[in-house]
Amino acid sequence: MSESPLSPTTRRRRFTVDDLLADTSPQARGTRELAEAREIALDRIEPDPDQPRRTFDLERLEELAASIRQQGVLQPIAVRYDATRDRYVIIHGERRWRAAQLAGLATIPAIVRQVSDEQRLIQQLMENILREDLNALDRAAALRRLKQQLGDIPWEQVAETVGIKRSRLFQLLATEKLPEPVQEAIRAGRLSEKQTRPLQGLPEPLQIAVAQLIEQDGLPQAEIERLARTLRERTDLALLDPRELLPQLRQLIRPIGSATPRPARSTRRSSRAVQLVTALERLRQLLETTDPATLDRVEREVITEAFRRLGSSLHRWRTALGGAPESS
């Protein structure tokens, strides 16, 4: 039996017709033809820098490597030949290529395709979208690159090209506006994109705190959405020290699903007035003792929004109390 062209050693043997027909171009070096693909040396293959996937789960790679040791690579990867660098660049199948390295293989079956940059990026993106194993942030980055690659076409055309709804596309893009700690949780798989949707529009400190609460307490989606709705009216909480914020958020969600006993009507009436006066006096003192020039950007945004809501409430109260007799 003749020796494989990939063998590290060479021996003198008799030439055959196959030798005369063999591809001796630079592109063919380190490869061996198969029925539907060719065996290519792993060291002649490299990842595509435009690959949408940026993170690889090492544990899952080890599992795939163990399977490859037992059964080999069952599905060829797809590559393109870069003549200027004399290398094969992966179109899709980088996980299999990485796992084959972990498994100790020297070669991997690959299908060589000649595709344009646009076709290559679309193929990479489509493969990962259909397999649902690309995180939302990597998808958003890939969609932006695809938009640029296609001549900065409208987002509607991008959605049509990759076969997803326009609303879904903008949900993915919205993850890029989340604070970095929340993005990192998405990349690591600790949070899903769906869990972070209700956080959109909240002040950054609240987004980070709610994300931590979701991770630590495993909040159901309905509670996340309810908490986010509550926080849109309580943006003042963003001013709290981060160490105080989580306990406050837990207090907000504690009443969910549980009834709070009501005090007697007369007690409620008297305590209500005391609470209002106390809160207004505390607010007055805070305003008198705080210099607006010392506030940072986030504090200014939160307080401006709070003043807007407070002004509306105060106007309603002044109107309602306008007919009440003044105390002597």
* Distance of alpha carbon 97 from the chain centroid: 24
Asked if 222 and 293 count as a contact pair (C-beta separation under 8 A), the reply is no
User: For the chain, give me the number of helices (H) and strands (E)?
Assistant: 14, 6
Nearest CA to 33 out of 115, 113, 114, 112 is that of 112
Nearest CA to 263 out of 275, 251, 280, 279 is that of 275
User: Cβ neighbours of residue 71 under 8 Å, at least 6 residues apart?
Assistant: none
Q: Which of 33, 46, 59, 94 is catalytic?
A: 94
Q: Among this protein's residues, is 215 annotated catalytic?
A: no
Angular region, 68: left φ>0, alpha ψ -120 to 50, beta rest: alpha
What is the token pair recorded at 131?
A: 């397999």
Residues with catalytic roles: 94
